[in-house]
Chains A and B, each alone.
Chain A
Amino acid sequence: MVSNCHFVLEMLGYIWQYIYTSFLRYWLKWLLRQATGKCELQRICSGYKPGASRTTKAEYSLRSSKNKVLRGALESSKDHLEQCVDQIMKEKHVKAQIDPMFKGSLHICLLQITGYSSLYTSVEDLRKEVFLSEDPQHEAMLFKLWDLLMPEVKLESRITKQWGDIGFQGDDPKTDFRGMGLLGLINLVFFSENYTAEARQVLSHANHPKLGYSYAIVGINLTEMAYSLLKTGALKPHFYNAVQGAPELTHFHQLYCYLAYEFDKFWVAEEPESIMEFNQYREKFHNVVKTHLQDPSVCLRLTSSN
């Protein structure tokens, strides 16, 4: 019985959604346009503060528009966005004298929306780039990581068990990058370079004899978390709030730093039985992050307690 009821409710929900998106939404928009003298995009840009709540609504409005010019703006390249905004204003009869803020607001929304997709493309390119020991630049990055984390200790050789001290699995880190490619290494280096004290603090927790974990491979795992959150679009609200323009790679690395620092805090506070519990706690932490991302005012910044 209960499941039957549930089924009927779900069906009604679908029917309502269909009627709303195919008919009601347009009548409602038309009515509001007559009453306020503004189109939906204008109402969004003036009615919501800059950030995720505004940009998410603008994105939805553009995506569900019947007008090709509006939908096309979402696929536009960064340099053409100003033209796109002009075209949209023309299509929607928006007068710059009457609504002087509109142009700038919509431009920023579009920079954020299209910037998110191009950020994904750049991240994906780095992920696909395989770490090669024959590439001097790749090797230099690896040594840099060591020096930043272990300034007091010299590496005895390129292939050495010492790599285990910063949490690689074996004596050659190259096999640990795997599905995350260069992206994993760049994130590790970025964290150590820009938050050196925090990174060393996290490393010292990771090297705890009982509560420890493998610093580098957990870092690579958290890169995977950042990557898949980006891919599914879950990070949109964060980037729409954090960057008033197109997000860049550094913003993605910043997000990784947040995850690496926060995961460590979480792990230490939870006191897991052993490293074998890692995936359970990773999932728990993943859910905490996803809950944060449900909040329209979310902004995931590393705030150090030091």
Chain B
Amino acid sequence: MGLLSILRKLKSTPDQEVRILLLGLDNGGKTTLLKQLASEDISHITPTQGFNIKSVQSQGFKLNVWDIGGQRKIRPYWRNYFENTDVLIYVIDSADRKRFEETGQELAELLDEEKLSGVPVLIFANKQDLLTAAPASEIAEGLNLHTIRDRMWQIQSCSALTGEGIQEGMNWVCKSVNSKKK
């Protein structure tokens, strides 16, 4: 990198801040995803009591990612974090078929929330590294995603463990923020 481009970088406006809310049932992989985004070690993760927040730079954005614990007991607190959300990322454990219904219900309730109306939603069909994982297409169908009309949405298969698919998902997040601003 030449001196000029460094100077240009210093002069350019600070990164635009984006508020991203990371939700989903417990054991879906939200914290692993968050740490993977921040390029941190993912081998010592424990269940999230409360929430974690991290800021990540990406494509000229400063992404402030809020990872909220998914256990049933603290789901009532989710709504405290809705305000000013730019993008919602909903994480699903694609191998936990027994809880597809529960996760679908939670997602449907989120999409009905007034404070989240129009907010683009990215669904991560996580844990694709597991043999028993359902493909994204099957999950999309099960969740009736095609009936969503009031916002941009996308489903992306990924593995927070290996990092596969995450970049693609985040590209969509940045794109959707850009097109929302226009």
Interface residues of A (CB under 8 A from B): 127, 164, 169-170, 175-176, 178-180, 184, 213-214, 217-218, 220-221, 223-224, 227-228, 274-280, 282
Contact = CB atoms under 8 A, between A and B. Distances in A.
A186 B43 CA distance: 19
B55 interface: no
Contact of A170 (B27, B45, B46): B27
Interface string B3-43: 00000000000000000000000110000000000000011
Contact of A179 (B27, B46, B73, B80): B46
Contacts of A169: 26-27, 47, 70-73
A220 B26 contact: no
Contacts of B108: none
Given A276-B50, A276-B80, A178 B71 contact: no
Nearest to A212: B73
B49 interface: yes
A179 B46 CA distance: 6
Nearest to B41: A179
A175 B45 CA distance: 12
B26 A179 contact: no
B47 A279 contact: no
Contacts of A220: 46-47
Interface string B121-164: 00000000000000000000000000000000000000000000
Contacts of A228: 44
Given A275-B49, A275-B50, A224 B27 contact: no
A276 B50 CA distance: 4
